[in-house]
Amino acid sequence: MTEIKRRGIVAEDLYKLKMVNDPQFAPNGESYVFVETEINKDKHDYNSHLYLGTLDGKVTQWTFGDVRDSSPRWSPNGDTIAFISNRSGKSQIYVMSANGGEPKQATYCVNGARNPIWSPDGSKILFVTSLDPEETITDKEKKKSDEDDKKLEPMVVDRIRYKSDAAGFLDNKSQHLGILHIATGEVEQLTSGAYDYAAGCWSPDGTSITFIADIDEDSDYNLVSDVFVMSLEDKRYQKITGSNGNFGNPSWSPDGKYIALIGHEKEFMGATLPKIWLYSVESGDLACLTVEWDVYVGDIVVGDFQLGGSNSGVIWNEDSRSFYFLMSNHGNTGVYYGSIDGEMYPSLFENQHVFALTVNNHKAVVGISKPTQPGDLYYLDLSNGELNQLTYVNAPFLQDVELSDAEPFTFKAPDGWDINGWVMKPFGYEKGKKYPTIIEVHGGPHAMYANTYFHEFQVLTGKGFVVVFTNPRGSHGYGQHFVDAVRGDYGNKDYLDVMAATDYAVENFDFVDETKLGVTGGSYGGFMTNWIVGHTNRFKAAVTQRSISNWLSFYGVSDIGFFFTEWELKGNLLEDAEKLWDHSPLKYVGNVETPLLILHGERDFRCPIEQAEQFYVALKHQKKITKFVRFPDANHELSRSGNPKLRLARLNHIKDWFVEYLTK
């Protein structure tokens, strides 16, 4: 039998890969619906469709066309699917029979609709829409000419949070709750005003809903999120959290006695571990179930492939005493079982990334990714732990390529802390040879590299590079003290962690060529790349992506700058300008000798492009080796969900820069 000769991954393979996500069990527990996404190469866009799967492995495509369908949700009786689609030109709610047929548009909201949540009796759907002060939920979609006319009007800003990296300029719009009445097609507006509301869940008897908001008159500055319960009879509501933290993902127990929440009280600001909380409907008491558990509840994995995480929160069992949820720890995410008595133990926790979860009567469908497995859905029998693969969306593609696995290692930081990392050997690896090596630094900094597929890493190993990636202090997954340790210390011990990882790789992996080292990272990883090249000439090439270079200007130009600098650097522009400058890579730009490629999106409001412009001009003015690549209409999410053509260009720019300066 002839052996298939496999090749290494290239950036263009992004067009061949498919992504699965958001599985949702049917009420009968025998079938499930999920979203499969692929890239439309001709239109440089994404197509997402709904698929129906059964637990014996059969899969049938349900929706078609050059559209993006998402958020499928079953009606309680299993007869109907509600989902979001942009097939009308704007994302609206559609419904279709579970027996098949054409989807029917159900909402015509002026700014679209999202997040459909069925009422327990199946007669209504709770949803979210955007409205400006002059609009109501009954206003219909506008013609394109009307929208173009509005673009010519000046935008008047009177609040500090007036833009968002995800949504762009907010233009005075607020997020509001509505209810769609299935029988009549009428929509009912539940909230109004200048506050933003997010949908939660229905009470089991259908008389109330939960929602998430900050409706304090000083909400523009508060940076908290509370959970509320609204009676649908009179629209009165009560707050069940204390306006002292960030809470969300409310989930009502089937017996109506409890509401589970995910959140924290901001003890360590943005570095605080989210925990599971339990609200007693009868007594009004709110208690933390995982107060002593030093882990991250949820999925905090950073990657560049999976789209549209399901964000499942707590999923109750029928006994109203136990539940399932996702948890991230030491570079992995898994499924955990919990109870109102405080029991917490793993149902599925291995060296992998569980990125999606749906549960029905102790049966689960989970999305799983590994470094050599882009992602598929699996059936998990929670009663015995048996795991069976359901989808094989990338099987044909994987037959032709050779992926590099990620081998874990642990090393000591200079102060003795244990730090986890991984090394990936290059395609065509030959024992005894040395290879140019690239150190990758993740963003956040409060995120977590993990045992998951990372396309950028595979492109680099496919071109003959070793890739080393680690979780330095500041990363999630290693407890509260570890994740908080970077705050107020950017560029100090976190920098030493990255350099210690480099030392370990050179000393312990004989295939690493210490004379040909590169470094790259995005966001905080971009900050760290800028910092590294200003403090050492050890690296022969570097690529900084969507970076921070100047905390002084970041304070005023980022959509989060005015509070992020206080949270993370423990200083602000008004009182600690010198501290902000001391932590700014721009201060040390005169030391840079490493050839540096600068990549940045034009529409990045999280780390605005002026951060890159300052660093580039300062380097160019000194006639240092540098190049600046600007990506049109791209925001901070370019590498993960941006325009596919630009994602491809980004990967090739990174690869070509390292080829030029590390292999010649």
**pLDDT tens digits for range 27-61:** 999 999 999 999 999 999 999 999 999 999 999 99
Write out the residue range of the structural domain in which residue 531 sits. Answer: 411-549+584-662
CATH code of 419's domain: 3.40.50.1820
Q: Are 470 and 450 in contact (CB under 8 A)?
A: no
Token pair recorded at residue 42: 């001709």
Peptide bond into 204 cis (omega under 30): no
Q: Identify whether the C-beta of residue 356 lies closer than 8 Å to the C-beta of residue 344.
A: no
pLDDT band (50, 70, 90) for residue 147? low
pLDDT digits (tens, 9 = 90+) for 488-523: 999 999 999 999 999 999 999 999 999 999 999 999
pLDDT tens string 179-205: 999 999 999 999 999 899 999 999 999
295 contact partners, CB below 8 Å, separation of at least 6:
273, 327, 328, 329, 477, 479
Rounded-to-integer distance, Cα 564 and Cα 555, Å: 8
Q: What rounded mean pLDDT belongs to the chain? A: 95
The answer as to whether 489 is a domain residue is: yes
What was the pLDDT predicted at 307? 75
Tokens of 40: 């439309």
pLDDT of residue 388: 97
C-alpha–C-alpha distance, residues 489 and 492, integer Å: 6
pTM of the predicted protein model: 0.96
Q: Is residue 637 over pLDDT 90?
A: yes
Q: Which of 194, 222, 248 is the last residue of a domain?
A: 194
First-to-last C-alpha distance (Å) of the chain: 39
Is residue 22 scored above 90 in pLDDT?
Answer: yes
Residues 439-489 have pLDDT tens digits of 999 999 999 999 999 999 999 999 999 999 999 999 999 999 999 999 999
Residues involved in catalysis = 523, 636
Quote the number of domains for the chain. Answer: 2
Q: Alpha-carbon torsion 401, 402, 408, 414, what sign? A: negative
Mean pLDDT of 310-338: 95
Q: Is 46 contained in some domain?
A: yes
pLDDT exceeds 60 at position 132:
yes
538 has a pLDDT exceeding 70: yes
In this prediction, residue 149 carries a pLDDT of 60
Q: How far apart are CA 264 and CA 278, in angstroms?
A: 12
* Per-residue pLDDT at 143 exceeds 60: no
**Residue 151 has which token pair?**
């673009």
Rounded distance, CA 642 to CA 122, Å? 36
When mean pLDDT is compared across 153-157, 398-402, 478-482, the lowest value belongs to: 153-157
Q: Please report, to the nearest 10 degrees, the dihedral formed by the alpha carbons of residues 114, 25, 350, 337 taken in order.
A: 90
Q: Which long-range contacts (CB under 8 A, 24 or more apart) does 311-315 make?
A: 311/249, 312/356, 312/357, 312/358, 313/248, 313/249, 313/250, 313/251, 313/260, 313/262, 314/249, 314/251, 314/260, 314/261, 314/262, 314/276, 314/338, 315/251, 315/357, 315/358, 315/359
pLDDT the model gives residue 222: 86
Condensed to tens digits (0 to 9), the pLDDT of residues 552-589 reads: 999 999 999 999 999 999 999 999 999 999 999 999 99
Which pLDDT belongs to residue 156? Answer: 86
CATH number of the domain encompassing residue 144? 2.120.10.30
pLDDT at 144 over 70: no
Sequence-separated (6 or more) residues with CB below 8 Å from residue 202: 117, 118, 119, 120, 126, 208, 209, 252
Residue 266 in domain: no
Flag whether pLDDT at 148 surpasses 80: no
Collapse the DSSP code of 598 into the 3-class scheme (helix H, G, I; strand E, B; otherwise coil) and give the result. Answer: strand
Burial class (CB in 10 A: 0-12, 13-18, 19+), 395: exposed
Q: Which of 79, 81, 78 is nearest to 93 (CA)?
A: 81
Of 165, 194, 223, which one is at a domain's C-terminal end? 194
Please check the confidence at residue 397 and state whether its pLDDT lies above 90.
Answer: yes
How far apart CA 290 and CA 171 sit, in angstroms, is 40
Q: What is the mean pLDDT of residues 644-650?
A: 97
DSSP track, 439-503:
EEE-SSSS-B--SS--HHHHHHHHTT-EEEEEE-TT-SSS-HHHHHTTTT-TTTHHHHHHHHHHH
Q: What confidence category does residue 129 fall into, taking pLDDT thresholds of 50, 70 and 90? A: very high
Q: Check pLDDT > 60 for residue 2.
A: no
At residue 146, the pLDDT reads: 57
For residue 66, being part of any structural domain is answered with: yes
Q: Does 92 map to a domain? A: yes
Asked, for residue 97, whether it belongs to a domain, the answer is yes
Nearest to 261 by CA among 314, 301, 196: 314
∠649-652-657 over CA atoms, to 5°?
Answer: 125
Distance CA 127, CA 109 (A): 11
pLDDT band for 546, please (50, 70, 90 cuts).
Answer: very high
Q: What is the pLDDT of residue 19?
A: 96
What are 53's strand-pairing partners?
32, 59
C-alpha–C-alpha distance, residues 359 and 361, integer Å: 7
Which of 31, 45, 41 is CA-nearest to residue 86? 45
Which of 145, 161, 194 is at the close of a domain? 194
pLDDT of residue 537: 97
Residue 398, H or E segment: helix 395-398
Sign of CA dihedral 541, 487, 247, 277: positive
Q: Domain for residue 263, yes or no?
A: no
Beta bridge partners of 204: none
| Domain presence at residue 141 | yes
Backbone φ, ψ for residue 554 (5° rounding): -55, -35
pLDDT at residue 274 greater than cutoff 80: yes
